[in-house]
Structure 1
Amino acid sequence: MCGIVGVISTTPVNQLIYDALLLLQHRGQDAAGIATQQGRKFFMHKAKGMVKDVFRTRNMRALPGNCGLGQVRYPTAGNAFSEEEAQPFYVNAPFGIVLVHNGNLTNAQALKADLFSTDHRHINTESDSEVLLNVLADEMDKATRGKVLQPQDVFAAVQAVHKRIRGSYAVIALIAGHGVLAFRDPYGIRPLCIGRSADGTVMLASESVALEGTGHVFERDIQPGEAVFIDLQGNISSQQCAQAHQLSPCIFEYVYLARPDSVMDGISVYQARLNLGQTLAKRVVSTVPPNEIDVVVPIPESSRPSAMQLAQLLGLPYREGFVKNRYVGRTFIMPGQGVRKKSVRQKLNVIGSEFKGRNVLLVDDSIVRGTTSREIVQMARDAGARKVYLASAAPPVRYPNVYGIDMPTSSELVAHGRSVEEVRQIIGCDALIYQDVDAMKKAIGALNTGIAGFDASCFDGVYVTGDITVNEIAQINEGRNGGDEGDEDTSRLSLPNAQDN
């Protein structure tokens, strides 16, 4: 999961891309990059760190031009600590192409071998995004063969890309001297939308919040398998480029990843989380009588809408019991377990008066590794809670995710191979209530009946691309983000999976 943006305008776009990346910062905190084009020349700056730290005044001045793209990175493949794997990526032929990618290719290793042996292209990093760029460049070369580039050539190249690559991908590419290309995988697993401002500027972004927050009017989502080409004058061409396509977005976007003020594939993320709270309330009643709960407390921040809706339906007081240090990054998407453990211990503090002498129902958006939940339950007990119940707005995460979320190995998932009671004992709460998988799908799917289904593979083990096996998962794990920086923190407050925006 990363955040990507692309812009074509009649005025300089460096500040606009920067502002959009700030609005997408929740989608990646490891690295950031911007590339712009002036004439036929690209200008690029990228580095590890948050957007505000990567780009200084001198960097912004060195990014001239009226079109460009940018990315905030959340690493799931390659080396999390390599500056070289920050995006955008560049290749000089044909034309010169700069690319940003959100998602994860599941056949990257096979593609890399094919690129070397057949296409004679060199891959210099472990990033699947560089593989994707070279596949696109190779197909662009085949589609044009020295001709003047036309939109139909671009679409022919994307058609061929769809046939070669597998996995999840939302892509924005800048083609030197021609314009911006955007396309989405045939299942629409990762989001991508387009909008326009009053002055005619066209923006593509991972979430609608990036459009609205920069003065653009959301027009539509890019459809699964669709490619959109915007020339340097802002003229838009589009074509469906996949032989078979269906909208099956990642349901974890609505549960946790996206900002609540975004609308993705016709679904309000905020309303989706309210709906999850409504269905979760029914599960709570069947496990813990409401008269045994004194207060409902969310674990900041993604769970707040669900917790509020649940509390209202059960007629229980809703209270904020944890205060988050907003100057610590979003730890679920930090690279490396050691980094997570060092940061989350500084992240949450308890408001003791909301816990002392009370039976407390904690509500979280999801439970992945479980260590965070265990520590937060203990924090509530230390603050004087009589009983601590825990409800998850999402079902048990039992299976690896291979489409761009950092939960790839079964051994990391507390619910894998365990019953709810076994997980409850590990976490140490007095009762553990999970959302039901079918109820989750219905609660979110009811907001857009045009969606064929969801990729909910981390919950139900069904991978929408239909080509994922145990061996495939093992091979993908070999390319996951590289090891930890520094020593591991083993103290009680090292919370490796605090999930909030």
Structure 2
Amino acid sequence: MSTQSITTLGSLNEECGIFGVWGVPDAAHLTFYGLHALQHRGQEGAGIVANDGGRLWQERGLGLLSVAFADPNKFTHLTGKAAIGHVRYATAGSGGIRNIQPFMVDFADDQVALAHNGNLTNAKSLRQQLENEGAIFQSSSDTEVLLHLIRRSKKATFIEQLKEALNQVHGGFAFLLMTPDAIYAALDPHGFRPFVIGQMPNGAYLAASESAALRAVNAKFVRDVKPGELITINDAGLTIDHYTTQTHLDIDSMEYIYFARPDSDICGVNVHQARKRMGQHLAYEAPAAADIVVAVPNSSSSATLGYAEAAGLPQEMGLIKNQYIARTFIEPTQQRREQAVRMKLSVVPAVLKGQRVVLVDDSIVRGTTSKYIIRMLKEAGATEVHVRIASPAFKYPSFYGVDMQTSDELMAAHLSVAEMCQEIGADSLAFLSTAGLIAAIDLPHEGSGSGLTTAYFDGHYPSPIYDYYPELASEAEQKIVTFEPELTAN
């Protein structure tokens, strides 16, 4: 890889996906299949830890799951009836094998494996404190902090130590831990990330980042893990406990907009249907005089279907995605970025020629890709391109597990909608309103608020952001962004 500044053409990235099961033969292979259904949540590395009669064994590797576990010999030691696994995208911490999870540690009296989906907002401060007290870290990941907190706890039992540690970390986290005796699933007090419990035909329980992973292994959905819960899965079955009762549901709206698979259900809402409603609301809010509606494949397909139906316009396949192109890391030059777009997307001139096109996408982050796509459509003969985005404009960064922790490359943070429209070369540009997004997701939620985190659009963060506060200090002083007080007391 070049020593120059390297960037990915992709706009947004989820941090990772996790999967764990207790009580099935050949649990590691089942975990592999569960992780395969979560591959969209992380493509930089994968790992599995198996529990064979109380002894934990770890295997991990870089790249896609199929690459990391291409050698069948890796499963030689991954035997036993329980396992947890992880697919990773680097948000906090650098890449490299040392940051591939699950992490596994051998204490004098026990073994513990840990996998994490999300991002801890106070990990830097905690790490500095722990290092000052003599802790030695083996990775640069924020996840490892929890293991040190567990070990330094003076509580009598592992459950008590874990609860104490969970009440010291903040931000977004869905944790899966495994000891020789059990698997533990814990979700942060806001429930930022999705997390579900399933059950196998033989009665064994499992936990996964999305419900789509349950169907991949022939498991039935049991329940969502709720904010503040600590769930134990072992030979006795499923035990539901809490490490805190100070909770408030604020699931990340980006799961519905972009990250989760369309066949997943999150908190009772199907992702495909939510995205379709986003497109419908967008059509009501921002109609366009056009002939056809075209999706930017693949994550905007559901929203495009909703827009076309609501607008009474035909949906056409004007753009085709090459399914065999891996993630493209390129030097940030205009020529190479544009070539990468053309590698991933192809136009259909016969569909586009002479047509006024509504181009539906799920988001605009940097705007670079949108500019190239619009140019491709017009070169193919489209007379007009009206861009409609099935989410509000991204004005503020995310700190709970999405790779968007600075406003530097957020186009909407620096330009008006009219300026953005001119920059990308569209004939018109409109975004879904925040109110329209909330109405489209229609989360069945009781209590204050909508049950969703919409901070990236409206600047209202449901918790402090601790180590990341300097990023928004100026906006906070001007009351452009606000932060709710922390739910848990340390």
Q: TM (normalized to structure 2)?
A: 0.88
Residues 440, 330 of structure 1: alpha-carbon distance in 2 compared, 3 angstrom cutoff: farther
Letter in 2 for 1:275: R
Residues 122 and 467 of structure 2 are in contact (CA less than 8 Å); yes or no, is this contact kept in structure 1? no
| Structure 1 position 135, deviation (Å) | 2.1
Partner of 2:484: none
Residues 283 and 311 of structure 2 are in contact (CA less than 8 Å); yes or no, is this contact kept in structure 1? yes
Partner of 1:430: 427
Aligned pair partner of 1:32 in 46, 66, 72:
46
Residues 328 and 343 of structure 1 are in contact (CA less than 8 Å); yes or no, is this contact kept in structure 2? no
Q: Does 1:183 align with 2:186?
A: yes
| Structure 1 position 330, deviation (Å) | 5.6
| Structure 1 position 26, deviation (Å) | 0.6
Partner of 2:166: 162
Aligned pair partner of 1:143 in 151, 155, 162:
155
| Structure 1 position 132, deviation (Å) | 2.4
Give the root-mean-square deviation of aligned CA atoms.
2.1
Partner of 1:259: 261
SS of 1:128's partner is: coil
Letter in 1 for 2:79: P
Aligned pair partner of 1:303 in 289, 296, 300:
300
Deviates most, 215-224 or 276-285 = 276-285
Residues 267 and 443 of structure 2 are in contact (CA less than 8 Å); yes or no, is this contact kept in structure 1? no
Q: Structure 2 CA distance, aligned partners of 1:343 and 1:32?
A: 25
Residues 395, 337 of structure 1: alpha-carbon distance in 2 compared, 3 angstrom cutoff: farther
Aligned pair partner of 1:458 in 456, 459, 475:
456
- Listed one character per residue, the Cα deviations across residues 260-317 of structure 1 (whole Å, up to 9, x for unaligned) are 00001111111110110111011222xx3xxx30100000011111111111111101
- Listed one character per residue, the Cα deviations across residues 60-100 of structure 1 (whole Å, up to 9, x for unaligned) are 223111111001101111113x1211111112225211100
Partner of 2:73: 58
Letter in 2 for 1:21: L
Q: Structure 1 CA distance, aligned partners of 2:111 and 2:301?
A: 45
Q: Structure 1 CA distance, aligned partners of 2:183 and 2:445?
A: 31
Residues 205 and 238 of structure 2 are in contact (CA less than 8 Å); yes or no, is this contact kept in structure 1? no
Q: Structure 2 CA distance, aligned partners of 1:336 and 1:134?
A: 38
Q: Structure 1 CA distance, aligned partners of 2:305 and 2:145?
A: 44
Q: Does 1:223 align with 2:226?
A: yes
Partner of 2:206: 203
| Structure 1 position 325, deviation (Å) | 1.3
- Listed one character per residue, the Cα deviations across residues 131-173 of structure 1 (whole Å, up to 9, x for unaligned) are 223223333xx222xxxx5xxx51x334322331111000000
Residues 403, 133 of structure 1: alpha-carbon distance in 2 compared, 3 angstrom cutoff: same
Letter in 2 for 1:448: P
Partner of 2:444: 448
Percent identity over the alignment is: 36
Structure 1 segment 391-410 matched on structure 2, within 5 A: 391-410=388-407
Structure 1 segment 268-417 matched on structure 2, within 5 A: 268-285=270-287, 288=288, 292-329=289-326, 344-417=341-414
Aligned pair partner of 2:88 in 62, 73, 98:
73
Q: Structure 2 CA distance, aligned partners of 1:212 and 1:183?
A: 22
Q: Structure 2 CA distance, aligned partners of 1:37 and 1:101?
A: 18
Deviates most, 85-94 or 461-470 = 461-470
Letter in 1 for 2:460: V
Q: Structure 2 CA distance, aligned partners of 1:211 and 1:133?
A: 28
Residues 5 and 206 of structure 1 are in contact (CA less than 8 Å); yes or no, is this contact kept in structure 2? yes
Q: Structure 1 CA distance, aligned partners of 2:221 and 2:18?
A: 16
SS of 1:190's partner is: coil
Aligned pair partner of 1:212 in 207, 210, 215:
215
| Structure 1 position 438, deviation (Å) | 1.6
Q: Structure 1 CA distance, aligned partners of 2:396 and 2:101?
A: 28
Letter in 2 for 1:211: L
Residues 360 and 389 of structure 1 are in contact (CA less than 8 Å); yes or no, is this contact kept in structure 2? yes
Residues 402 and 473 of structure 1 are in contact (CA less than 8 Å); yes or no, is this contact kept in structure 2? no
Q: Structure 1 CA distance, aligned partners of 2:111 and 2:440?
A: 45
Letter in 2 for 1:465: S
Residues 468, 65 of structure 1: alpha-carbon distance in 2 compared, 3 angstrom cutoff: same
Letter in 1 for 2:298: E
Residues 279, 127 of structure 1: alpha-carbon distance in 2 compared, 3 angstrom cutoff: same
Letter in 1 for 2:140: E
Partner of 2:17: 3
Letter in 2 for 1:236: L
Residues 321, 249 of structure 1: alpha-carbon distance in 2 compared, 3 angstrom cutoff: same
Letter in 1 for 2:169: I
Residues 205 and 237 of structure 2 are in contact (CA less than 8 Å); yes or no, is this contact kept in structure 1? no
Deviates most, 389-398 or 85-94 = 85-94
Residues 468, 319 of structure 1: alpha-carbon distance in 2 compared, 3 angstrom cutoff: farther
Residues 209, 128 of structure 1: alpha-carbon distance in 2 compared, 3 angstrom cutoff: same
| Structure 1 position 363, deviation (Å) | 0.1
Partner of 2:114: 99
Residues 198 and 221 of structure 2 are in contact (CA less than 8 Å); yes or no, is this contact kept in structure 1? yes
Residues 104, 265 of structure 1: alpha-carbon distance in 2 compared, 3 angstrom cutoff: same
Residues 158, 336 of structure 1: alpha-carbon distance in 2 compared, 3 angstrom cutoff: farther
Residues 447, 402 of structure 1: alpha-carbon distance in 2 compared, 3 angstrom cutoff: closer
Structure 1 segment 232-251 matched on structure 2, within 5 A: 233-251=235-253
Deviates most, 376-385 or 455-464 = 455-464
Q: Structure 2 CA distance, aligned partners of 1:17 and 1:430?
A: 48
Q: Structure 2 CA distance, aligned partners of 1:71 and 1:26?
A: 12
Partner of 2:29: 15
Letter in 2 for 1:369: R
Structure 2: tracts of 5 or more residues without a match: 1-14, 474-490
| Structure 1 position 470, deviation (Å) | 6.4
Q: Structure 2 CA distance, aligned partners of 1:2 and 1:18?
A: 14
- Listed one character per residue, the Cα deviations across residues 325-356 of structure 1 (whole Å, up to 9, x for unaligned) are 1122366xx79979988854421111111111
Q: TM (normalized to structure 1)?
A: 0.86
| Structure 1 position 431, deviation (Å) | 0.2
Q: Structure 2 CA distance, aligned partners of 1:336 and 1:106?
A: 30
Structure 1: tracts of 5 or more residues without a match: 476-501
Q: Structure 2 CA distance, aligned partners of 1:189 and 1:113?
A: 25
Aligned pair partner of 1:473 in 458, 471, 474:
471
| Structure 1 position 23, deviation (Å) | 0.3
- Listed one character per residue, the Cα deviations across residues 360-400 of structure 1 (whole Å, up to 9, x for unaligned) are 11000111111111111111011111011100000100111
Letter in 2 for 1:92: D
Q: Does 1:193 align with 2:199?
A: no
SS of 1:164's partner is: coil
Residues 398 and 405 of structure 2 are in contact (CA less than 8 Å); yes or no, is this contact kept in structure 1? yes
